[in-house]
Amino acid sequence: MRSGRAISVVDRRVFLKAAGAAFLAGLAPDAAAAMLAADAVFATAYVDREGSYGIALLSEEGHLVHTQPLPDRGHDVAFDPLTGRAVAFARRPGTFAVVFDRTGMTAPSTIAAAPGRHFFGHGVFSPDGRLLYATENDIDAAAGLIGVYDATAGFARIGEFQTHGMDPHELLLMPDGRTLAVANGGIETHPDFGRAKLNLSTMKPSLVFLDRHTGSLVESHELAPALHQLSIRHMDLDARGRVWFGCQYEGPALDRPSLVGRVQPGSGIALLDMPDDVLAGLRNYVGSVAANPAAGTVAVSSPQGNRLAVIDTETGMLVGDLVLTEVCGLAADRDGYFATTGEGRIVPASGEDATLPGYVWDNHILRIG
């Protein structure tokens, strides 16, 4: 529900039976049956036990429906329900994104990062599906960018604009269809030095709102200066269009800053008080944030703390708390969450857990139908 535009179950079935015929024809018979029987489909990056990378499509019951190979490690997926196309982004500092057609109408294609740029792993489509926005690094300047791609012209890169910060990670399209929310994690890295963090003493994260038509900065929100090492990285939208965000703390391990906050355009940014034991269980690291607007909750996961916490978006109170080894991937599902782990485990909101031990699920999972 990241964009609030996931197509309904009924739409999806109609879609699959009509436009999706070619896609289904390309699947093994049992996979096609699983796809048709599935109430929902989720996409997540994985590495398998042979060390191969890809994107997996999982049914709501945790069945593996389809896999799309990737040349290297992926991170998150963007989805356009109008065309059924999804884009899997390379994990930072990767330089590829793979477009695959959920409907099977066209062959997969690869988007290469522009010279001097790399992807940060997240992207989002415009509401009409015509444009794709990706978080990127201007490597030499260590400046955050949004790369703009024309989905109607082979995903040609047609522009870029500044994120007014460093290390932009996840981005969201706001309900107005025009504003992009971008989490500037604030950590400088350079591909020459792997994933080494180059500026921990001076990092300056922010959460910004950008006008996707003009590229201009609408608002920038920063936390208190004492929290400058609290990297804002993941976000989702609740039913009222408020942005919930999760952080990763780069300061001393004994510090216990709050890791979850909320911001709304036009008003301030605020961190949420959480019970000490739950906060401690998150180990200063939130790996994924997903809201369930229908249920009025938001969930955050910590693979470092093996913990998943669910918060009521109206009261800010904790309403769910789960110990789950290496949990990270989260997506809204019915009145709860579909969660995946680094042990290959799949935990649907209802029904039985499943585990595909041949797979290690990456950080994120997205409902794509």
How far is the C-alpha of 259 from the C-alpha of 37, rounded, in Å? 38
Beta partners for residue 345, in sequence order? 355
* Minimum separation from the CB atom of position 181 to other proteins (A): 18
CB 210 within 8 Å of CB 163: yes
CB of 15 to other proteins, least distance (A): 28
Query: Shortest Cβ distance from residue 331 to other proteins (Å)?
Result: 12
Order the strands of the 41-48 sheet from edge to edge: 64-70, 53-59, 41-48, 359-367
Which CB sits closer to other proteins, 239 or 322?
Answer: 322
Q: Which residue has 């997903």 as its token pair?
A: 290
Among residues 154 and 275, whose Cβ is nearest to other proteins? 275
Task: For residue 111, give the H/E element and its range.
Answer: strand 109-112
**Shortest approach of other proteins to residue 42 CB, angstroms?**
15
Query: For residues 135, 233, 323 and 257, what is the CA-based torsion angle, rounded to 10 degrees?
Result: 170
Torsion angle, CA of 26/103/182/53, rounded to 10 degrees? 0
Q: Which distant-in-sequence residues (6+ apart) come within 8 Å of 106 by Cβ?
A: none
Min dist CB 204 to other proteins, Å, is: 14
CB of 66 or CB of 233, closer to other proteins: 233
Q: Please enumerate in sequence order all residues whose Cβ is within 8 A of that of 59, keeping only pairs 6 or more positions apart, or say none.
A: 34, 35, 37, 38, 39, 40, 41, 42, 65
User: How far apart are the C-alpha atoms of 183 and 75, rounded to whole Å?
Assistant: 16
Q: Judged by CB, which is closer to other proteins: 8, or 350?
A: 350
Q: Identify the burial level of 237 via C-beta atoms within 10 angstroms of its C-beta, where 0-12 means exposed, 13-18 middle and 19 or more buried.
A: buried
Cis status, amide bond into 93, omega within 30 of 0 = yes
Shortest Cβ distance from residue 154 to other proteins (Å)?
28
Residue with smaller CB distance to other proteins, 106 or 355: 355
Question: Residue 16 or residue 327: which is nearer to other proteins going by CB?
Answer: 327
Nearest-approach distance from CB 190 to other proteins, in angstroms = 5
Give the separation between CA 226 and CA 229, rounded to whole angstroms: 8
The rounded distance, in Å, linking the Cα atoms of 24 and 112 is: 28
- Of 24 and 360, which has the nearer Cβ to other proteins? 360
DSSP strands (E only) in 17-62 = 41-48, 53-59
DSSP H or E run through 354: strand 354-355
Residues forming the site for other proteins (CB under 8 A): 47, 75, 91-92, 121, 142, 167, 169, 185, 187, 190, 192-198, 200-202, 231, 233, 248, 251-254, 256, 277, 280-281, 285, 287, 299, 302-304, 306, 308, 310, 318-326, 328-329, 335-337, 339, 342-343, 347, 349-350, 353, 360-363
Choose between 252 and 268: whose C-beta lies nearer to other proteins: 252
Nearer to other proteins among residue 52 and residue 202 (C-beta): 202
Q: How far is the CB of 261 from other proteins (least distance, A)?
A: 18
**Closest approach of Cβ 87 to other proteins, in Å?**
17
